[in-house]
Amino acid sequence: MATTLVRPRTHVTPAVRAHKAPSLRHLGPNWYASVMGTAIVANAGATLPYQLPGQRVACQLVWALSAVALAALLTARAGHWLHHRDQARAHLLDPAVAPFYGCLSMALLAVGGGTLIVGKDLIGTGAAVAVDAALFTAGTAIGLVMAVAVPYLMVVRHKVEAGQATPVWLLPLVAPMVSAALGPLLIPHLPAGQPREALLLACYAMFGISLLATLLMLPLIFGRLLVGGPLPLVLTPTLFLVLGPLGQSTTAVNQLADVAPQSVDGTLAGALGAFAVVYGVPVMGFALLWLALAVAMLVRAARNGMGFAMTWWALTFPVGTCVTGATGLAHHTGLTAFAWLAAALFLVLLTTWLLAAAHTLHGLFTGRLLAG
Q: What is the pLDDT of residues 239-298, one digit of tens each?
A: 999 999 999 999 999 999 999 999 999 899 999 999 999 999 999 999 999 999 999 999
Mean pLDDT, the chain, whole residue set: 91
d(C-alpha 54, C-alpha 175), whole Å: 31
Closest to 175 in 3D by CA, of 227, 231, 112, 100: 100
Query: Do residues 36 and 317 make contact, with C-beta atoms less than 8 angstroms apart?
Result: yes
> What is the pLDDT, as a whole number, of residue 133?
97
State the sign of the Cα–Cα–Cα–Cα dihedral 120, 126, 129, 132.
Answer: negative
The Cβ of residue 15 has, within 10 Å, a number of other Cβ atoms equal to 8
d(C-alpha 30, C-alpha 172), whole Å: 12
d(C-alpha 260, C-alpha 278), whole Å: 16
H helix runs in 260-316, sequence order: 266-303
pLDDT in tens, the chain (372 residues): 344 444 444 444 444 344 444 567 778 899 999 999 999 999 999 999 999 999 999 999 999 999 999 999 999 988 878 887 888 788 888 888 899 999 999 999 999 999 999 999 999 999 999 999 999 999 999 999 999 999 999 999 888 887 788 999 999 999 999 999 999 999 999 999 999 999 999 999 999 999 999 999 999 999 999 999 999 999 999 999 999 999 999 999 999 999 999 999 989 999 999 999 999 999 999 999 999 999 999 999 999 999 999 999 999 999 999 999 999 999 999 999 999 999 999 999 999 999 999 999 998 888 788 776
Put simply, whether the predicted model's pTM sits higher than 0.95 gets the answer no
- Reduced to 3 states (helix: H, G, I; strand: E, B; else coil), residue 294 is helix
Identity of the residue numbered 177: M
> What is the pLDDT, as a whole number, of residue 3?
41
d(C-alpha 201, C-alpha 194), whole Å: 10
> What is the pLDDT, as a whole number, of residue 56?
96
Query: Do residues 183 and 203 make contact, with C-beta atoms less than 8 angstroms apart?
Result: yes
